[in-house]
Amino acid sequence: MSASLANPLNLLGMPRQRLARQFEQWGERGFRATQLVKWIHQRGETDFAAMTDLSKALRERLGELATITLPEIALERSAEDGTVKWVLRLADGNAIETVFIPEDDRGTLCISSQVGCALDCTFCSTAQQGFNRNLSAHEIIAQLWLANNRLPVPEGRSRAVTNVVFMGMGEPLANFDAVVDAIDLMLDDNGYGLSKRRVTLSTSGLVPALDRLGAVTDVALAVSLHAPTDELRNRLVPINRKYPIHALLDACRRYTRDGARHHRVTFEYVLLAGINDQPEHARQLIALLRDVPCKINLIPFNPFPGSPFVRPSMNAVRAFERLLDDAGFVTIIRRTRGDDIDAACGQLVGQVADRSGRGPRMIRLHAELPRPTGAPV
Ligand code: SAH
């Protein structure tokens, strides 16, 4: 990549090894990259002039050739329960969302990997916006940089964010290279130093890209399953028509089996009243996952305006959980957080001005789905 005054290179998203090669191309020593990565990602410095352990000549050179540029915060909202949500405005005017979810023993940051999403999952509000573009690595890592620099550091910790999940807008495996670069910085001891168990990539199941991921990294994996049969999953997660459940589960087995990985896959299952939350669905799920080392994350549906689905009652959610539990599965019901600030995925972007000039798309497939029981008519 070439850099000029008119189009300086943004170093924020560059993994250390690549930065070292870039430095060498500029005639500088490669190890300077380690210093720079520490300045940017550990100390939160974005001004080359302040990086006092680099020579003055190098600082000036960097100032001419490169930048460290972050998106603008268009909106920052804190909920009663400590959840914080940001809408970030990118240089081209697009907006993305990032959510911080504090718990007693950790702080989880939910980040976006794309502007919008192309996958069209019928219960997801990001899908309604359609797909706009991939985020670059600097736009992905900027979310972690900003959260760590905005949030107070809890006592006994060095940083607010201890865990990262790719569960915001977009399908991370559809933006492979940028996501892998951002993961590199998250895991780098000179960057964020997160352990691979504390970075979770969530995918709707792009099988070939999942195999590629397994070849280059071994972060924790979450898979958006949402249905125990192809017939139902085809309708909820349309990418299933291309990569059906058996192919997806085979890829999950490969991902967890390869190399030194011992962790299990987390299967995410959004519960939609009358659609996939019945006892027969639980029984089908048990049979399906019997021989896959996994955890199951039940997510009561988060409603959004215009969605055709209904969140099941807590009793129905618990009954579903009990069946899985009794069959020996580690099952977690995900609590809804930040309800008072619309913290659920995709719900805030619609509230800042839409500069893309495209309105939200209507939810399709509505007519194809059986009417949920208990749904308002
Ligand atoms: N594209 C990736 C990551 C983004 S979605 C994926 O599909 O995994 C992150 C999680 O939130 C997924 O499990 C997704 O299915 C779930 N989700 C999306 N919309 C939801 C809604 N309205 N209510 C509950 N969960 C939802």
Mean pLDDT estimate for the chain: 88
pLDDT greater at residue 27 or residue 341: 27
pLDDT in tens, 66-103: 999 999 999 999 998 899 999 999 999 999 999 999 99
**Residue among 28, 76, 97, 321 flagged as catalytic:** 97
Average pLDDT of span 221-247: 98
Of the candidates 254, 265, 248, the residue with the CA atom closest to the CA atom of residue 206: 248
pLDDT in tens, 134-174: 999 999 999 999 999 999 999 889 999 999 999 999 999 99
How far is ligand 1, taken at its centre, from the CA of residue 185, in Å? 24
Which of 18-27, 278-287, 339-348 is the most confident on average?
A: 278-287
Among 98, 119, 270, which residue has the most ligand 1 atoms within 8 Å of its CB, making it the best to mutate? Answer: 270
CB atoms within 10 A of CB 18: 16
Res. 6 pLDDT band, cuts 50 70 90? low
What confidence score (pLDDT) does residue 257 get?
A: 80
What confidence score (pLDDT) does residue 301 get?
A: 94
CB atoms within 10 A of CB 360: 17
Among 134, 224, 226, 240, which residue has the most ligand 1 atoms within 8 Å of its CB, making it the best to mutate? Answer: 224
pLDDT in tens, 116-136: 999 999 999 999 889 999 999
Low-confidence winner among 34-38, 120-124, 259-263, 276-280 (lowest mean pLDDT) = 259-263
Q: What is the pTM of this model?
A: 0.90
